[in-house]
Chain A
Amino acid sequence: MNGDEACCEGALAAGCRFFAGYPITPATEVAESMSRRLPEIGGIYIQMEDEIASMAAILGASWGGVKSMTSTSGPGFSLMMENIGLGICTETPCVVCNVQRAGPSTGLPTLVAQGDMMQARWGSHGHYEIIALSPSSPQEMFDFTIRAFNLSEYYRLPVIILADETIGHMNERVIIPQEEDIEIVNRRKPTVSREDYLPYEADADGIAPMANCGDGYRIHVTGLTHDDRGYPAMDAKAQEKMITRLVDKIRKNRDKIIRTQNLYLDDADVVVVSYGISARSAMQAVRDARKDGIKAGLIKLDTIWPFPEELIRSVASRSKAMIMAEINGGQMVLELERSAFGACPVSLVSNFGGRILHPGLILNAVAKAAKEKT
């Protein structure tokens, strides 16, 4: 099956029973599969009038107690930004899959890019933390979609899957495990009495138990800065308290959230960092470099946000050079530079989208970096 279909199957396996979306290449097959599969298992599929409404609908469904998701590509992702912010502020678990195509604007509808990395991080206004995952195969589309739901349920926020056209449209074998072998996380429920429940009163780890609409608890949900009751609290003190918690619940748990796949890091001189479809080209280049006697290594970012700063810093301190391979003008390379903190030179192998990176390009950059005198 292709990556989009695998995303749908992963969502269903994770317990998703509500999908609202608007078809857009190259994410259409996610919606299409959902429209076929959800009714079979008692779920609901709605084709909305646009992506603003799609995002609103999945937030509402989530508060109704159902795991929900939407899928889109660049133009729709832009429209979703406002309500992604609402999801963050109201701490609403849900999943947004962005199968990236080349932009800006309508761009190249049917062709690949990885240009929405920073938009996923900072696209909605205000200061917040986000979780985003980047799959490199249809199998990872399946696996990471399940993980996206688990993270969203646990940390209570919209989790973004940053896929790309090639992964979405690529057919490969996908192994779906037995139901009992799939780990499922559900949102934390209130344990206190109805009288004592405050919807935004967090446990020690910064995460507040969530009562769904209709559970019988008193809840109030707003995009305004709010207090523990969920009521608007219009002052700097309330803002400080709320944002600190929204930020800390991700930052302080980053070790549990961040995942990378590392190859040959033990003795690597030149380390390529990549993600999504580009990570496959990077892995080919690293293997080819090893055949040529170059000590190359790879960090594949399974989690894009939060970024693995500590890992990068420690690898940079013992590497000759680091290279980011990505399909945009240079986005995650900025994070790589920041995290390497001057410990080694950082360079970029990229294009602006429309085609995937050739392993030969990355290999050339690795070979060049390996030759540089330190």
Chain B
Amino acid sequence: MPDKRERHILITGFGGQGIVMAGDILGKAATLYDHKHATMTQNYGPEARGGACSSQVIISSEEILFPCVEEPEILVCMSQEAYTKNIKSLKTEGTLIWDTDLVHTRKTDAAFKSFNIPATRFAEQLGTKMMANIVMLGFLSAVEPLVHAEALKKAVLESVPPSTRDNNLRAFTTGREYGHSILKGLVKPEPGKHQE
């Protein structure tokens, strides 16, 4: 069903992690700065914080009609619950990205193109775990360039409170550089934890 020119991304985690904001920033980068079409829809429960939550982003060179991501080609997981709930939907040739410390994957996930980053730990080291979503976006921009990195950076800066811009820029760069280091083989990805 989805048009081949459409890129389907599912960002998942729990309420309070900035999952929806991450999707919003990605969509802004695509529409406002890369001048493409994008939609972002969100799923969450009635809880204010803590419930499973996801942000579905579609980026396309053409108008997007059906805004649901049913079979993501990129799945970002920032909580175990989100991983368990969504891993079945990931396309066989898709990319799985997860927070090393928060998600235990299955050995069979090795079939996917997969990347992990301790995004929340890095964000904590930078001052607040609230920026884990931005670290993750930086990482995503390195391992799966969906939009121009400059566009994404601009969208981050435009979306965060002005007083936190410098910190968020550091968070973005940390994630992006970690991604590049892994791609170049300069850093060995942490082994990650597997489910029994």
* Residues of A contacting B39 in the complex (Cβ-Cβ under 8 angstroms): 170-172
A173 to B45, Cβ gap below 8 A?
Answer: no
B37 (CB) vs chain A CBs: closest residue: A173
A172 to B31, Cβ gap below 8 A?
Answer: yes
Chain B interface helix/strand/loop/mixed: mixed
Find residues 127-173 in chain B having any chain A CB closer than 8 Å to their own CB.
none
B66 to A281, Cβ gap below 8 A?
Answer: yes
Flag whether A25 is at the interface (Cβ < 8 A).
yes
A166 to B41, Cβ gap below 8 A?
Answer: yes
Flag whether A67 is at the interface (Cβ < 8 A).
no
Instruction: Kindly state the interface size class of chain A when it binds its partner.
Output: 10 to 19
* Residues of A contacting B24 in the complex (Cβ-Cβ under 8 angstroms): 171
Bitwise interface map of B from 18 to 36 toward A, beta carbon under 8 Å scored 1, else 0: 0000011001100110000
Bitwise interface map of A from 165 to 209 toward B, beta carbon under 8 Å scored 1, else 0: 010011111000000000000000000000000000000000000
A356 (CB) vs chain B CBs: closest residue: B68
Find residues 98-139 in chain B having any chain A CB closer than 8 Å to their own CB.
none
A280 to B40, Cβ gap below 8 A?
Answer: no
B40 to A171, Cβ gap below 8 A?
Answer: yes
Flag whether A360 is at the interface (Cβ < 8 A).
yes
A110 to B37, Cβ gap below 8 A?
Answer: no
- Measured CA separation A358–B41 after assembly (Å): 15
* Residues of A contacting B40 in the complex (Cβ-Cβ under 8 angstroms): 170-172
* Residues of A contacting B66 in the complex (Cβ-Cβ under 8 angstroms): 280-281, 284, 356, 358-359
Flag whether A109 is at the interface (Cβ < 8 A).
yes
* Residues of B contacting A359 in the complex (Cβ-Cβ under 8 angstroms): 1, 65-66
B32 to A284, Cβ gap below 8 A?
Answer: no
Bitwise interface map of A from 80 to 119 toward B, beta carbon under 8 Å scored 1, else 0: 0000000000000000000000000000011000000000
Interface centre among B41, B43, B46 (most CB of A within 10 A): B41
Given contacts A284-B65, A356-B68, contact A170 B41 (CB under 8 A): yes
List chain A positions with a Cβ less than 8 A from chain B: 25, 109-110, 166, 169-173, 280-281, 283-284, 287-288, 356, 358-360
List chain B positions with a Cβ less than 8 A from chain A: 1, 23-24, 27-28, 31-32, 37-46, 65-68
